Structure 1
Amino acid sequence: MSQVTVSQAPDLSHAGGLFQLLRDGQPRTRADLAKSTGLSRPTVAQRIDQLLGLGLITPVSDAVSTGGRPSSQFAFNPRARVVVAADFGASHARLAVTDLTGAVLAELGEEREISEGPVSAIEWLTTSALRLLAEADRSAVDVVGVGIGLPGPVEFSSGRPINPPIMPGWDRFDLPGALKETFSAPVLVDNDVNIMALGERSSAWPDTTDLIFVKVATGIGAGIISGGSLRRGSHGAAGDIGHVALPRAADVPCACGNRGCLEAVASGRAIARELARSGLGTRTPADVVGLVKAGDLAAIQAVRQAGRDLGEVLTTCVSLMNPSLILIGGTMAQAAEHLVAGVREVVYARSIPLSTEHLTIAPSRAAGDAAILGAAHLAIDAALSPDRIAAALNR
């Protein structure tokens, strides 16, 4: 599987398709559903009964009567089940239990090194998830999906990381298989920036069908939503813009083994390293952000230049994909005023007017919540897909 469809016309051949219309939370009567779908009233009534049996919808207050007996309304029941969402970064981990709209019911986060390996991460995830479920007055039986973001390439069809450069011991580790003993629900694993793109869109830009989400932190990567679908490419490597060659960086070595990569000069790690050479004592992207917020001129200029470098690569992306929105997230987005200004300076100057006339370049709105929201929605969309509901009814 190389993409996730964010929106599509529902398949009305079974109750799962009818349910997609009710996921917006708007109460509807049986007559409303028959009219909007073209299905007969007996068919609608049968499928409503099936969805009530699964607990996915619930009766709500009666519709306004036009004479005679009021018509019963039905709406999505987001508390019917829960999902577990996890966001693993290079040096942090965050976990949440959400309802079926992505609303967080319980959460926690802590500093954890992804380099400690998968066994330690799985133990932390399962122990912490069971604790959060108890806090939310739920159990593992109530979980209908688990969504996980990892800071490296992932083969989405299997949920296995593929040669992740900063994740020793994780290569081809069967993460879904390792969680089967705890959760019987589907486990979906993806690259963290893809997760962030989904989270940003679902929470802040639901009507946008073409966007690029760029994470600038220790490294640089992009999540691409085109035509309403998340694009992963044939092997999950779509959006790896951090290793696009940049002329200004031609002689600069990159952690990937090449020279001249965007990431080698414009990532938070690269900026911190360059400022440290000037005697500013920066070791991490957070140190750089701290200097920028304190008004340090050298740090501000370095971040602005990183934005220009990023803008050079994004100019090509704009010409190729024609997005209506470019969002900048990750640790360095905390210095967004200067980073985004650098991106805009180059993209708006070098792209053709047709591509930029309606193009917005802005900081992430979801900010630090983007990844956990995206992981939740990845799990929710899988759990509530028409096929999954049809399978549940068959059981």
Structure 2
Amino acid sequence: MDSILVTGNGPLNGQIPIAGAKNACLTLMPATLLSEEPLTLTNAPRLSDIKTMTALLRSLGAEVSSLQDGQVIAMSSHSLTSQTADYDIVRKMRASNLVLGPLLARFGQAVVSLPGGCAIGARPMDLHVEGLEALGAEIELKDGYLHAKAPGGLKGAVHEMRFASVGATENIVMAATLAKGTTVLKNAAREPEIVDLVECLRKMGAQISGEGSSTIEIQGVDRLHGATHQVVTDRIELGTYMLAPAICGGEVELLGGRMALVESFAAKLDAAGVSVTETQNGLKVARKNGRVQAVDVVTEPFPGFPTDLQAQMMALMCTAEGTSVLEERIFENRFMHAPELVRMGANIEVHGGTATVTGVETLKGAPVMATDLRASVSLILAGLAAEGETTVSRVYHLDRGYEHVVRKLEGVGAKIERIKGE
């Protein structure tokens, strides 16, 4: 099994290109199931999760081609052979559940395994099921599979979600594009990935308004056509690499970054003593002067502080001056990286959904183990700021969400290498 060796090497300087968003691309790919005509995505990230979604779509009979070194994905669902998403594929990745809404909308039936992914919380399917049932679907759970049908087709409805779930919003919006009549989805998630999905669906002929707000209205149409769409910049990769010069010093420009994607995160960095400025090509990040200051963080749905940047922010707070409190309100198991940071000399106390971090002057390199996708990169960030060598094992998590990590960090002066396992 591969590992990553990081040696603390001082300030970072240069440019890092930011890829297309993993979470957006994984949502956009199932949209091909809504139409017989081709859907082409550009600016696609090159990640193992994208390969998993490709395998899932192919298992349904879709044609999926990876072009231009993986940055273009060409898809066609003109002759699907199955409406069943098997456990063997779905268990690998949470986003696999996003085939449910499109299959149900277009074919009136779908059988989808309960999904897998990182072990960072229950993330139940009940919000997806409630929304689709509001559109007239009949869904039952049998032997670990959701069996869904809508014999008379889906019908528009007014539905208010109990929680602003990103995945449920995406599934319901995709399903509603082909439902008869108008659907009004209240308490919808507002993330940029949902805005990106709606922009793509609109190019395919969908009639949708209100994306980016808590109420989305969808007027169902008889059919959708093909389109070409550019995947939005990955705000989580952007935020992650914004932390590299914050924790190490130096100045790094993130190419393709936009402030609108990370406003709440950038505000926290500013309060901590890190400058974030927009440039012609992206965002430039540098410490204002000296050691960063402790700041408190509460994770919230967009536009609040992203849960997917909490682990990385904790790494920064480990070396901040003062004590910070990080409260996790989205996922209940998202402090599994804390014990690994403690192995590096961090001072962290976890009580339920709250972690209290008292900054230390210096972290020490140590062998650590990644527990999930974002935890893995938080340990790499900590290793960049630590004295000596840090070996991060179980980095297969990393490959799910970050392309060319070693190359990108090496490009700004980091001393980092991937060690091939047996």
Please say whether Structure 1 and Structure 2 have the same fold, judged by a TM-score greater than 0.5: no
- Structure showing greater radius of gyration is 1
Higher helix share: 1
Higher strand share: 2
TM-score scaled by length of structure 1: 0.29
Q: Which has the higher contact order (CA 8 A, sep 6+)?
A: 2
